[in-house]
A and B are shown apart, each in its own frame.
Chain A
């Protein structure tokens, strides 16, 4: 219990310190450059050019330490030995390319990058389109959205239970194998089937992310102007035609946003693979490969290099996001 009190205490102290900082620096600025007296005009100008940086200060410092500096430091580490001391040139990159497990991770990551965003966006669009047409749509949405609140590791336990396998002859307690055997097929240890196990793991992430896609796409669908739809109805278009030819083309931008957001998530997710297979049976992915190199092999050089590979895959989306956002800023 005492650590909880310390946590609450820290929170109060932390928030208090922030308040004190913002109040104190602003007070100091107003004292140094008072907005009255003979130099009032010049003082106001000066104070106004400094004040934004007081507001931004803490955020800039924290972002620099926690996100900007590490990017450059990782770059340096990727040229160093496992302990991160001696430079050894491109050795890490060569080792990475020679590692069969890394190539397997790359192949699997590409599969994940294709299947998960496609699956989640597809089901999300389907759920959005259908739930907007029925009376209990909001309840349905809530329930489909629910897995968003569940941790990846919790979701992994949920699905490991669904995929559970017991030897042939015993009663199956996993839902999937119970269905398989009741249809007359043999039970399978799903998550150990090479290649196909990847898809059983992807199902988990699709299950989690569909709700996100649904919420965003549903808002976009509701934003479509009634006029275009009414015109199509008058022209005798069927509901399917209206959906695919009128509605979907109008929300391409949103679909792209959903797709890229999920893509980024796919690159970062490691918990599911860690919990389900830990990369065995041909199911390794980059994020878990990196974790493995960092924790089990304690090879900081190689781990930093694999993190850079993930970063490199994110960069195109990052650039696209920035360009899209800049249109808004102007």
Chain B
């Protein structure tokens, strides 16, 4: 709160508004995705999500009942009549209609349109239509009716049903979980022991090892992919969960060791010294004192690793197969982008399914994440 002293109201307004603008800029894209994922697919494809609470104008082409169907037409006095409602079970309000593709909006709702040979068409605002003809209607296909209808906003969870069960995202969700759980937990213990040795044990080469860990922090993953793929294929664990668990363990280890070491080095020396005086071994000290005290750092790393593994596409593409049993959510989303690129109802719902778990973790454990970031980068 520094610098608050002597703040003028105008400045305070400017600050508040600027932050509001930043926050909107940073949240609106995600918000648009969320809203769109719940919209009716037909409405989504013709109107922006920001209009989702207003009515949508939609052009519909429907066919009237076919003349050859039983009971489709009735004779009323001199004329033959076909009646029905173009909306079926949907709701909508017809504003314009037409009977020819060239002039789909030629008539206002309620007017009577003259067609060929004395036939007429009337479409009311509620969608009910009436076709009249001086002679019996013929043909197996019904007359086409073009309408412009104003539809009330429609929200649905159908998109989610579709992506989870028909597009295979549900299975991918399980695959992602399968990758993430062991890959998050296994590195922690290995890193914690190494971090303790680097923080509190005296041995030759310690400084060099620390420098190597710091160096490995920034080694690009791309370097490791090909050599490891060849190694995996040689050993026979190419494209398996076992391989990817180990790979994520390896890639996460430098950060884990670095974070935990930085945290452990800050623990009070007196605790360890008094324990040593009491005859505790390093092993006991680590197990009974350091590990419980390091919980915040362990949690920070676990969150990092969880987010990173859950969101990873590269490692999964290289070390897992493309089949139903191994395709993770990020990989599935990438496939959908290729195959269903224009179906925004599928893409928005799928994207939201992939990001919802990280978002929950993020908002509920943000404190640890921030602490970890600070320990990991500010020196």
Interface residues of A (CB under 8 A from B): 1, 3-4, 6-8, 10-11, 14-15, 18-19, 22-23, 26, 30, 48-49, 51-53, 55-56, 58-60, 62-63, 65-71, 73-74, 77, 84, 123, 126-127, 130-134, 136-137, 140, 142-154, 156-162, 164, 170-175, 178, 207, 210-212, 215-216, 219-220, 222, 224, 226, 229, 233, 239, 242-243, 254, 257-258, 261, 264, 267-268, 270-271, 274-275, 287, 290-291, 294-295, 300, 303-304, 306-308, 310-311, 314, 317-318, 321-322, 324-326, 328-329
For the complex, would chain A's binding face be called helix, strand, loop or mixed by DSSP majority? helix
- CB-based contact A143/B27 at 8 Å: yes
Shortest distance from the beta carbon of B13 to any chain A beta carbon, whole Å: 10
CB-defined contacts of B46 to chain A, threshold 8 Å? 170-171, 173
Interface residues of B (CB under 8 A from A): 1-7, 11-12, 15-16, 18-20, 22-23, 26-30, 32-33, 36, 44-50, 174-175, 177-179, 181-182, 185-186, 189-191, 193-194, 196-198, 201-203, 206-207, 209-228, 230-231, 241-242, 245-247, 249-251, 253-254, 257, 281-283, 286, 307, 310-314, 317-318, 325, 330, 333-334, 337, 344, 347-348, 350-351, 354-355, 358-359, 361-363, 366, 369-370, 373-374, 377-379
CB-defined contacts of B350 to chain A, threshold 8 Å? 157
- CB-based contact A161/B11 at 8 Å: no
Residue ID in chain B nearest A233 by CB atoms: B5
- CB-based contact B348/A10 at 8 Å: no
- CB-based contact B3/A161 at 8 Å: no
CB-defined contacts of A10 to chain B, threshold 8 Å? 182, 241-242, 245
- CB-based contact A287/B27 at 8 Å: no
Q: Would you mind naming 21 contact pairs between A and B with Cβ atoms under 8 Å apart?
A: A4-B174, A7-B181, A7-B182, A14-B245, A66-B249, A130-B22, A131-B19, A133-B1, A140-B19, A154-B351, A157-B348, A161-B36, A172-B48, A175-B29, A207-B29, A239-B3, A254-B378, A295-B317, A310-B220, A325-B379, A329-B207
In the bound complex, what is the Cα–Cα distance between A6 and B182 (angstroms)? 10
Residue ID in chain B nearest A304 by CB atoms: B226
In the bound complex, what is the Cα–Cα distance between A40 and B66 (angstroms)? 102
Residue ID in chain B nearest A217 by CB atoms: B378
Contact A19 B189, CB 8 Å, known A173-B45, A229-B3, A307-B226: yes
In the bound complex, what is the Cα–Cα distance between A325 and B265 (angstroms)? 14
Contact A229 B2, CB 8 Å, known A7-B178, A322-B211: yes
- CB-based contact A173/B283 at 8 Å: no
In the bound complex, what is the Cα–Cα distance between A53 and B217 (angstroms)? 21
Given A127-B19, A318-B215, 17 extra CB contacts under 8 A? A6-B178, A55-B286, A59-B194, A67-B216, A133-B1, A146-B363, A149-B307, A149-B355, A151-B310, A157-B337, A171-B47, A173-B44, A226-B2, A290-B222, A307-B220, A317-B218, A328-B379
Instruction: Select which of B4, B216, B225 is within 8 A of A63 by beta carbon.
Output: B216
